[in-house]
Amino acid sequence: MPSTRATTKDQARRSAVRTLLRLWPYVRPVRVRLFTAAFVAIVASCLGLVIPLVLKWMVDGPVADRDPAGVWLGALYLLLLGFAEALLFGLRRWLVARPLSHVEAEMRADLYGHLQRLPVAFHDRWASGQLLSRATTDLMLVRMFLAFPLTFLLVNGVTILAGVIIMLLQDWTLGLVILGPALPVIVTCVIFERRYAEVARLAQDQVGDLTTVVEESVLGVRIIKGFGRHRSQARAFWELSRTLRGTELRKARLLAAIWGVIVAFPEVAIGAALVLGAVQVADGELSTGTLVAFLSTALALRWPVDSIGFLLAMSQEAATATERYFEVMDAEPETPARSAASEAERDSGLRLCGVTFRYPDAPAGSRPVLDRIDLHIRPGESMALVGATGSGKTTLTALIPRLHEVTSGRITLDGRDITAMSREELRSQVAVAFEEPTLFSAGVGDNVLMGAGEGAGEAELHRALAVAQADFAYALPQGTDTQVGEQGLSLSGGQRQRLALARAVVGRPRFLVLDDPLSALDVHTEAAVEAALRDVLADTTALIVAHRPSTVLLADRVALLSGGRVTAVGTHHELLRTNAEYAHLMSGEESGKQEDER
């Protein structure tokens, strides 16, 4: 997996605002409700600033005049203002709940769809835990930002501005005292924003690493238990947890520091204003009601000012979450089909012409995994692909359905370049069964019918299970509706492999690519599957990766792959007589010409 952590300098240069603006396409459809909610919150917050003015009227009026009726009237005003403020804030919450859950769902759906379109090479490089954390934790942080900090950074800013104006109008000298801490608070916020962004990004990446370890430990629990490695895995988990804990504590220290500054300076200013205002009241320069209104306004601004720290922290976390989300969304998807070649091949079947393949992240100048492969499988013909471990067999099979893109050369199906076909069309014609079968947490029938087109039903399912000799499915507790569990680990290796083979043949594909599909079967089951497969192979064009003579005998011809090149093509018996390397492979002896395969 590539490093998903940006350097400190890169992070420092990034603008959180510019990053968060990338959310606008998702926010735009619900902007009316969000803007309405923000307006309602501003009105509610400004109602809170009217309360000190009512207090001023009460103190300088009914209280000073000893008018009980006026005091009760003022109390009624305060009650109504408080009730209206609470009602408006409740309305704001109701307005944002539904649209923001929609935004989060849309972003998650887009991420999932994009992951399906990304090339296999991308998934080879990225740890699944990093992708999971982006689809869960990061999107939760984005939703929380849209629900709270986005609104209240605006609301609190307007409230602070309105409150300062009110205080200056009450008494400008006291207002200047309150404004004294503004400059150090602003400087502190700027420094905090830069430092917190670095730590927040580090923490979110570490969450992804930890998610990867948990996922691998759960999926590999049989290996961990089988080799007694639970202690070493627990140590690895603890090390990552301790590292993440340290990063979270750094975040807490930064937040505590800014909160201390933001709270302490305004409190000192309020205390100074109280002393100065009391002196002015004693000297008769200021009315008691004005001082009460001024101090009440200052206290009403404590929450908007105190909240700046954690609102900035949540905004920075949302910015890094957005950045991590778009790191995946910006990855280039699989290339679309290009325009058809001006001149199509005259022959049919499957043809590889000068195919060379090198992994995208391979060092410059390194030897290609596959080098100038020329191969032609005629219509209705089956060809076995044989080679030593690491010779490039599996890589070659992945090129046909375009799980990887050829570096140079071309592959054609019935004369059509596969790059001129949409992936949907290509993969509707080519079915693949891998040596390591992957099953999903669904019923047996659902897993098999995944390889069929729309409208496939019980008849196709029964036929495919019969070809793969997977009659065991009918004996499961709920028959073919039985849930196989995550990764199909509730089944044996041979059972999973037979279901994967059934999935490959259920749609009656024109082209079939089988990557050693019978390696986990016992001798008797293998013979039964091979007998059933012969009927299927008679009606399709197939490429079969084989390691055993019994599998090779399913094919009409054999291609020997050695060092990334096809070195011989012929029937099984011809190659046994004429090619020493092939004879070694078929006799079970280890070839001395193994190459490293990715």
SS3 of 265-278: HHHHHHHHHHHHHH
Instruction: Write down the pLDDT at residue 108.
Output: 92
What's the rounded Cα separation, in Å, for the pair 596 and 598? Answer: 7
Q: Which residue has the tokens 């409190």?
A: 267
Radius of gyration of the chain (CA): 35
Three-class secondary structure of residue 406 per DSSP: coil
Convert the pLDDT of each residue in 498-517 to its tens digit. Answer: 888 888 888 888 888 888 77
Average pLDDT over residues 442-466: 82
User: pLDDT band at 592, cuts 50/70/90?
Assistant: very low
The kind and range of the H/E element at 68 are helix 68-117
Amino acid residing at 218: V
Instruction: Write down the pLDDT at residue 7.
Output: 41
What's the rounded Cα separation, in Å, for the pair 224 and 220? Answer: 6
Instruction: Write down the pLDDT at residue 48.
Output: 82
Residues 6+ apart with CB under 8 A from 559: 375, 383, 384, 385, 386, 566, 568, 569
CA nearest to 313, candidates 258, 267, 262, 261: 258
CA nearest to 115, candidates 437, 331, 323: 331
Q: Which residue has the tokens 């070493």?
A: 232
Asked if 488 and 439 touch (Cβ cutoff 8 Å), the reply is yes
Three-class secondary structure of residue 453 per DSSP: coil
> What's the CATH code, domain 99-329?
1.20.1560.10
Q: Rounded to an integer, what is the distance from CA 175 to the centroid of its chain?
A: 49
Residues 6+ apart with CB under 8 A from 158: 42, 45, 46
What's the rounded Cα separation, in Å, for the pair 554 and 550? Answer: 7
Average pLDDT over residues 319-331: 91
Instruction: Write down the pLDDT at residue 344.
Output: 47
Out of 218-227, 493-502, 552-561, pick the least confident: 218-227
Three-class secondary structure of residue 591 per DSSP: coil
Instruction: Write down the pLDDT at residue 176.
Output: 85
Amino acid residing at 229: R
Q: State the CB neighbour count (10 A cutoff) for residue 440.
A: 14
What's the rounded Cα separation, in Å, for the pair 327 and 2? Answer: 12
Average pLDDT over residues 340-346: 46
* Whether pLDDT at 316 is above 90: no
Convert the pLDDT of each residue in 480-489 to its tens digit. Answer: 888 886 666 6
What's the rounded Cα separation, in Å, for the pair 148 and 34? Answer: 11
User: pLDDT band at 326, cuts 50/70/90?
Assistant: very high
User: pLDDT band at 6, cuts 50/70/90?
Assistant: very low
What's the rounded Cα separation, in Å, for the pair 248 and 167? Answer: 39
Residue 402 gets the label, from left (phi > 0), alpha (psi -120 to 50) or beta, of: left
- Burial string for 548-570 (b: 16+ CB within 10 Å, else e) reads beebbebbebbbbbbbbbbebeb
Average pLDDT over residues 578-592: 73
What's the rounded Cα separation, in Å, for the pair 73 and 79? Answer: 10
350-586: CATH topology is Rossmann fold (3.40.50)
- Work out the percent of the chain whose per-residue pLDDT is above 70: 91
Pairing of strands 557-562, 565-570: antiparallel
What is the model's pTM?
0.73
Convert the pLDDT of each residue in 49-89 to its tens digit. Answer: 888 888 878 887 877 777 788 788 878 888 898 888 889 88
Mean pLDDT, all residues of the chain:
82
* Whether pLDDT at 597 is above 50: no
What's the rounded Cα separation, in Å, for the pair 367 and 578? Answer: 28
User: pLDDT band at 14, cuts 50/70/90?
Assistant: low
CA nearest to 516, candidates 350, 412, 391: 391
CA nearest to 129, candidates 28, 30, 244, 16: 244
Quote the Cα angle for 174-179-184, to 5°.
145
**Pure H helices in 330-443:** 393-399, 423-429
Out of 199-208, 256-265, 339-348, pick the least confident: 339-348
User: pLDDT band at 8, cuts 50/70/90?
Assistant: very low
Residues 6+ apart with CB under 8 A from 250: 199
CA nearest to 199, candidates 247, 241, 130: 247
CA nearest to 175, candidates 65, 280, 99: 280
Average pLDDT over residues 199-221: 81
* Whether pLDDT at 325 is above 90: yes
Residue limits of CATH 1.20.1560.10 in the chain = 99-329
CA dihedral over 468, 471, 476, 479, signed as positive or negative: positive
What's the rounded Cα separation, in Å, for the pair 338 and 356? Answer: 19
Pairing of strands 350-357, 408-413: antiparallel
Instruction: Write down the pLDDT at residue 341.
Output: 45
CA nearest to 162, candidates 77, 291, 42, 268: 42
CA nearest to 498, candidates 545, 437, 446, 548: 437
Residue limits of CATH 3.40.50.300 in the chain = 350-586
Burial of residue 110, with CB atoms counted within 10 A of its CB: 0-12 exposed, 13-18 middle, 19 or more buried: middle
What's the rounded Cα separation, in Å, for the pair 232 and 225? Answer: 11
Residue 340 gets the label, from left (phi > 0), alpha (psi -120 to 50) or beta, of: beta
**Pure H helices in 359-489:** 393-399, 423-429, 444-449, 458-467
Instruction: Write down the pLDDT at residue 339.
Output: 52
